[in-house]
Amino acid sequence: MSERHAGVSRRTFVTGAAAAAGATWLARGPRRAAAQTKATITYWNGLTGADGKVMDELIDQFTKETGIKIEQQRIPWADLYAKLQVSVPAGEGPDLALIHTVEVPHFASDGVLEVIDDSAMSSRGFRAADYLPATWQGGTFEGKRYSVALDVPQHLLYLNVKVMKEAGLLGADGRPKVPASRDELVQMAKQMAKGDTFGFGIGTVAPGRYTWGFHNLLWQNGANVFTADLKRSALAEPAAVEVADFWASFFAQKISPPSNASCRDAFIAGKLGMWIAGSWNFTGLREAKVDFTAAPVPRLFKQPVVWSMPHQFTFPKPKGADAAKRDAAWTHIRWMTDHVAEWTLKAGQISASRKAHADPRITADPVLKVLMSQGANWQVGQPTPRWVAAENLTRPVIESVYIGQKPGKAAMEDLARQINALPA
Amino acid sequence: MARRRGLTAYGFLAPGLLLFAAFRVYPLLDGLRLSFTNARLGRPAQAFVGLANYERLLEDTRFHVSLWNTLFYTVASTLPILAIPLLLAVALNRGTMRTVLRGAFFFPFTLSVVTVGLTWLWLLDPVVGPFNYYFGWLVGRGRSWLSEPGTAMWVIIATTVWWVAGYYLVIYLAGLQDIPRDLYESAALDGAGAIRSFWAITLPLLRPVLLFVFVTHIIGSFQIFGQVFVLTQGGPGDSTRTVVQHLYETAFQNFFAFGAASAMAWVLFAIILVFSLLQFRLLRGHTEL
């Protein structure tokens, strides 16, 4: 068949095709151009558990609403921090990172994080009045702001209904009894402990090495890792030694699982009655259909302090300034703060911003209600660049106390000596 | 002509040598330089501190403990690592199902150290782990294997043997294939049984392979890290803490003290070098290499 017979000449066909392509380009042009103006940002965090999937969903929603793409990297926290320390000085860091409060001082003093101007915060609607003091202050170091808090991972007391029922520890209302003191907790734990079932545990896995639980008890007893001036360790002081002795009694009295056990698995398997652990565990317990209730962390020493460690949005120092990327990162922080109720409901972490606390979906949830009730008792780690290194040194020492390898006093003196030897 | 061929050979070798120099030799030497400085990541200023990092190691009790643990692991794991794969290889050299069994024994080696560690961590969990459940059923009560200083290192050794036995098994099998069959036939005609043949033929002729396994195992043992990190994180207390873990934490967790960590790395390198030279010297007279 010839072209003429088809009714369209080659020239006409080529001209028509070019015109059609041009028209299509013109029609698409403005939209594509608009899409190109939206920055793509890189975002590193340590949300490697169930909460990471929730963050994925929220980021998808954010991208749909704003057109800003986020390339998220979820890295286990310890590796994330090492990676940030190495990559940021090389100019290979992310545009945005989520870190824990206690990481702010050392990253700030090592020049890994950018200082955030007060004006940058206020112009985007971030105000101190919207946050609880511990979370707002956690973003500052030596008078300068380095981060904005997202949420408040914290401890709470989980009570296993099955285990407590078998031990006769349900109240008249059919709900597990809540220990009101240290003696009562130990007494109840002993009542539940038999064979491979334990009455009390603290920490998700490896309870003997669980520094966050140890810190919680220290803070309850008015003790801390460093003295108030942050110059030397306070762990050899009597209040800290008292905590260490209590720590040693858990496994020695056979009320707590061995040092390397998984308390979470034991709780799910119905082999652990009372469990002080992080708020990030409760959505998993619901998924596993464990019959449990939650209560505030009991006051086991002088004050009802609850350990917490807010997640903080930070800007790692970039190689060169990129206003579009920074603006996109701010847009994400603002968006997440405005949608933090979704994060709280799905990931189980109470928001740092008070605005979401009145959301009826949150106030109706029994566990979230408990978590919010602890707000006045939240405490965070001390603002010193040596905090994280001190915590690393603490882990094996408290484990040796837990398993009875070292007496509390000697262990705390040894630990204080090691911490004091850390470089300033 | 010969010179031209030599140049051609060097030409072919050059890319590999360049990569080796850039990614092996240079970091090694730069690490040596760092070990004489107070280098810390995030603090650009570095000062020459002479032997201070090495002197500090003399006072670092945790380094001493780590060194002792590493040495203990190396010595205690050597016999099982040498013997168990060898016995398996001899058993699997002939017989039915040998291909399937070789595959079965080699399979663990295909797993990453994290997978191996997490698997055993769950199997040995003192509360919900199946191993302890059956152990408790047999002897009345379970044990917290990884929480007790007396057993934790042995569990790490057992896990390592389970993990790497298949790899050494394959090496031994290759060595066994090289032993002429007629030697065994002659020995059988002379009335030698399986055990006598093993001691008189198999073991002597496997010496080069044994030396290879021995040396590579010792070098690898001094660098043990993955299994310990996943299974015990050096615990209970510091009872399974090894030199590489101490080095890793010094470099990447506690203040990124690259200078101090480099000094540890060089001390470890020197120890491995001495042990390797000793092994070669001890076995040189008995083995054709």
The predicted structure's pLDDT at residue A423: 78
* A89 pLDDT higher than 80: yes
Q: Using a CB–CB cutoff of 8 Å, tell me whether A407 touches chain B.
A: no
Q: How far is B147 from chain A (nearest CA, A)?
A: 5
**C-beta separation of A138 from A149 below 8 A:** yes
CA–CA gap between residue A104 and residue A110 (Å, rounded): 10
pLDDT in tens, A363-405: 999 999 999 999 999 999 999 999 999 999 999 999 999 999 9
pLDDT band at A4 (very low <50, low <70, confident <90, very high): very low
Q: Return d(Cα B39, Cα A32) in angstroms, integer.
A: 48
Phi, then psi, of B110 in degrees rounded to 5:
-80, -10
Please report the pLDDT score of residue B46 as a whole number.
82
CB B234 within 8 A of CB A396: yes
Question: pLDDT-derived band of residue A137, with 50, 70 and 90 as boundaries?
Answer: confident
Q: Closest Cα to residue A161, out of A52, A285, A310?
A: A285
Out of B128, B142, B233, name the one closest to residue A266 (CB). Answer: B128
Instruction: Determine the pLDDT at residue A2.
Output: 37
Average pLDDT over residues B76-80: 95
DSSP for A335-347 reads: HHHHTHHHHHHHH
Is residue A14 pLDDT above 60, yes or no? no
- Residue A138 neighbours by CB under 8 Å, 6+ apart: A101, A104, A147, A149, A310, A312, A380
Q: What's the token pair of residue B68? A: 């002792």
Contact list, A405 vs chain B (CB under 8 Å): 149, 236-237, 239
Answer whether residue A284 shows pLDDT above 50.
yes
β pairing state of A292-295 and A155-160: antiparallel
pLDDT digits (tens, 9 = 90+) for A315-346: 999 988 899 999 999 999 999 999 999 999 98
Q: With contacts defined as CB-CB under 8 Å, which chain B residues touch A406? A: 237
* Residue A82: strand pairing partners: none
Res. A5: pLDDT tops 60: no
Q: Do A271 and B128 touch (CB under 8 A)?
A: yes
Work out the widest C-alpha separation in chain B, in whole angstroms. 80
Q: Which two tokens stand for residue B67?
A: 């060194």
Which residues on neighbouring strands pair with residue A40, listed in sequence order?
A69
Q: ipTM beyond 0.90?
A: no
Whole-number CA gyration radius for chain B: 23
What pLDDT, on the 0 to 100 scale, is given for residue A15?
A: 55
Reported confidence tier of residue B285, pLDDT bands at 50, 70, 90: low
pLDDT at A78: 85
Q: In the predicted model, what is the mean pLDDT of residues A226-237?
A: 97
Chain B positions with Cβ closer than 8 Å to A: 40-43, 121, 125-128, 132, 136, 142, 144, 146-149, 232-239, 241, 249, 252-257
Other residues' Cβ atoms within 10 Å of the Cβ of residue B224: 23
Q: Where are the beta strands (DSSP E) in A154-238?
A: 155-160, 198-202
The alpha carbon of residue A194 is apart from the nearest alpha carbon of chain B, in Å, by 12
Mean pLDDT of B80-94: 91
Does A264 reach chain B within 8 Å, measured CB to CB? no
DSSP per residue, A304-326:
--EEB--EEEE-BPPSS--HHHH
Of A91, A58, A86, A56, nearest in space to A73 by CA: A56
Q: Which of A60-69, B40-49, B190-199 has the least mean pLDDT?
A: B40-49
* Beta-carbon separation of B128 and A111 below 8 A: no
State whether B233 and A206 contact (CB < 8 Å): yes
Residue among B127, B232, B241 minimizing CB distance to A265? B127
Mean pLDDT of chain A: 90
Q: Is the dihedral of CA B170, B175, B176, B181 positive or negative?
A: positive
User: How sure is the predictor about A37, in pLDDT bands with cuts at 50, 70 and 90?
Assistant: low
Q: What is the rounded distance in angstroms from the CA atom of residue B82 to the CA atom of residue B172?
A: 10
